[in-house]
Structure 1
């Protein structure tokens, strides 16, 4: 049996999801939350815990907490096999829900993936998604384009985005122009964690569309804000919170590294436009500190959610915007951020919903960022805009009713590279211009090129990639 067909290691079938555009409630069964401290194998692989019996009762539409790490690699969590990074809170989240082994980001860099998550569509459906990533104020997510937030807001949800937006800059682009009721965070792709200075020396911490002064460590600030939001009385309305950490994105500054912060700020103010890249800094140990801080921060937010009494009826999704950077633990994957090799796009991905999903599950079905947009819309009883069809597919039937995920291709395009996954097979063309074919079921490291022995399959997957590409916007000419 292929890994694609293997699907969930174990599953609870807890009834159908009733979805209509105007639904105020959906008739959902419920399952008890799993014990938080159950043992789990530290390496990637199926968990062994049996399901507990589910109980049926009506459930309101779920809240949605979507947590995104920044440049976090597939194997950077101990639940995914990291030998030296300890992530007990995210490991617990995985034990309480479903851990996906074959999950992907929508692209290989920050802003295109965010476009794919916000819209549920390939980044190259929009002009702003062609930037890889956005580095100036000329493009962004057009406010007229439907988003997960705008569609949920129209169906009665409160919506907020806390953390990194990276889909355009003021005055034309902002979360508050694209469906989020509230925004607290940064607009750009990177900032210095204490001063909040961006690459050009601009200050980049905002509440709504106004600058907000707070010179504490950034991860602490947005963790506090997110904890407050999930604890808040929303007066009976379900809510969506996109919580976008910048951790563990460079610069390599952990909480307490004030001297390192001051040195980078000095370089920024002296006109060093590459200071934030911090190419002369960082280490495996520093990266470990940053990932473990991310884990603690997620634990704080989940703790606040639990204390609020809303945990059972909140869908929590955790993922990363692309594969790992230079200090990431990517073994056994090849490549890293900016590449369409597995190390650049395969990411950790966990979903938990105590009211509906039993814990201790592992899924080997390939999924990617736009699928979560489609899934969350369905779970919330909202529909996509008919003029903007989604490129992702909903996983609701798969997760809740045991339905097969329809066979489809996962498609990626970045300048100079192309990739398409169909089942266990992956078509890849890197910057050498050579077409390659890999069977990921037995070669996750992409070392055994099957192009010469499977020419017909290679041609078929190449044609499929080109058919999708023909319907996307072309890249602007480089100057």
Structure 2
């Protein structure tokens, strides 16, 4: 398959804290209002669905470092924060270095137009920003989670940007991200006589269904709770129904993006990739997996991966290919004809061959580590090594996706081999700095002072 003669447009859609089984196509149940994710379900039915795909981290910003660089996030100091907190605004260390090549910067150098609509969470101006890391356009929040209506972070500070300037705009954030994305696609279509010769890379980073749990119908509720920031932002808010409506309203936005591609006759040669930055949180459905955000159990790192590209991907294909976030970044670089910088070799491996032929699976070990609870994990074929709180576990995921039967005592040699492999890999990564922090939720100094 020759990817250089007619390179695809690429749209990389990332949900925030979406659970493995929150979508109908991954076994999710219908809500009281009906199917939760009909658009994404159709994209999966007409494209490729991966059942063994992972995020690079079980928490927001570390995964995004890997997504931007196609490398293990542990190579960068900012990714040791789990995640980068609102209180680091103005910090000159904790962010994506502007000197580091990125997925958008490499694609831009290869001739792509680039834009990010939605969440950044990789450091704050004036030291860091999407514009300084390869995106020509940016609209969205710089931090991890903001109110969907006021667009203020958990510390009460406004956090909506156009480029590197703060932007005041009314509207439900999920819908605004969709609006900006649709506008970009329409402008790219209008400005190109031959769209295939001027391809675009569009990152659509929704904050849904990350807290605060608000649907587009909850603006009055938002005002009511604003005096109690903890209730609104994390500790007491939300319910399953609201959470599922947030997913549905994101799904509606994705439907608008797909419809725009169809109207502009761009859908056939546009690669749409959808995933989540990590496993689900308190209201998510991760069945049959256990754990969630912040955990290296399967529920914290295994996420949906859907790829739709009518020109190349056959409809109705499913694959058990293991992969991580950084592999999809490497895939997009290959398809876009972009070359990695020799000084920053990729850790991700391109999945481009899989898109045309899902019959051949490639295996390589995948590795994770978390400062939180001293977690470490490794996936190699059907086997997974996990350490939590100093206890080692060994699971055969083929027969035990729920990670209930610890085979470490009965397979000590296999365990020892995987521990050794993990430690050898870990020795190749920078050590976790002693001052790296873990934020399970916002701490008191991140909350508004009253």
| Change beyond 3 A, Cα 1:208–1:275 | farther
TM-score by length of 1: 0.85
Partner of 1:471: 428
Distance 2:38 2:315 in 1: 16
Distance 2:206 2:363 in 1: 32
Task: Tell me whether 1:368 sits opposite 2:353 in the alignment.
Answer: no
Q: Residue by residue, what CA displacement relative to the aligned partner does 1:123-182 show, whole Å, maximum 9, x if unpaired?
A: 111111111100123210000001000000001000000000001101100000000111
Partner of 2:363: 407
Partner of 1:203: 158
Paired residues of 1:161 and 1:175 also in contact (CA < 8 A): yes
* Partner residue of 2:223 out of 249, 262, 268: 262
Paired residues of 1:195 and 1:265 also in contact (CA < 8 A): no
Partner of 2:42: 92
Partner of 1:172: 127
Paired residues of 2:335 and 2:352 also in contact (CA < 8 A): yes
Matching of residues 148-159 of structure 1 within 5 Å: 148-159=103-114
Partner of 1:37: none
* SS in structure 2 of the partner of residue 266 of structure 1: coil
Paired residues of 1:197 and 1:265 also in contact (CA < 8 A): no
Higher helix share: 2
Paired residues of 2:322 and 2:363 also in contact (CA < 8 A): no
Matching of residues 439-478 of structure 1 within 5 Å: 439-478=396-435
* Partner residue of 1:421 out of 372, 376, 379: 379
Greater Cα offset, 181-190 or 296-305: 296-305
TM-score by length of 2: 0.91
CA drift of 1:406 comes to 3.6
Distance 2:72 2:380 in 1: 17
Distance 1:182 1:403 in 2: 38
CA drift of 1:278 comes to 2.7
Partner of 2:83: 133
CA drift of 1:399 comes to 2.3
* Partner residue of 1:76 out of 9, 18, 22: 22
CA drift of 1:234 comes to 4.0
| Runs of 5+ consecutive residues of structure 2 not aligned to the other structure | 438-450
* SS in structure 2 of the partner of residue 312 of structure 1: helix
| Change beyond 3 A, Cα 1:231–1:114 | same
Partner of 2:204: 243
Structure 1 segments of 4+ aligned residues over 4 angstroms from their partners: none
Task: Tell me whether 1:114 sits opposite 2:71 in the alignment.
Answer: no
Greater Cα offset, 259-268 or 314-323: 259-268
CA drift of 1:365 comes to 1.1
Q: Residue by residue, what CA displacement relative to the aligned partner does 1:237-256 show, whole Å, maximum 9, x if unpaired?
A: 10000000000000111111
CA-based RMSD of the aligned residues comes to 1.4
User: Aligned pairs, how many?
Assistant: 419
* SS in structure 2 of the partner of residue 377 of structure 1: helix
CA drift of 1:473 comes to 1.8
* SS in structure 1 of the partner of residue 326 of structure 2: helix
Partner of 2:393: 436
Greater Cα offset, 132-141 or 67-76: 132-141
Distance 2:277 2:290 in 1: 17
* Partner residue of 2:263 out of 281, 284, 307: 307
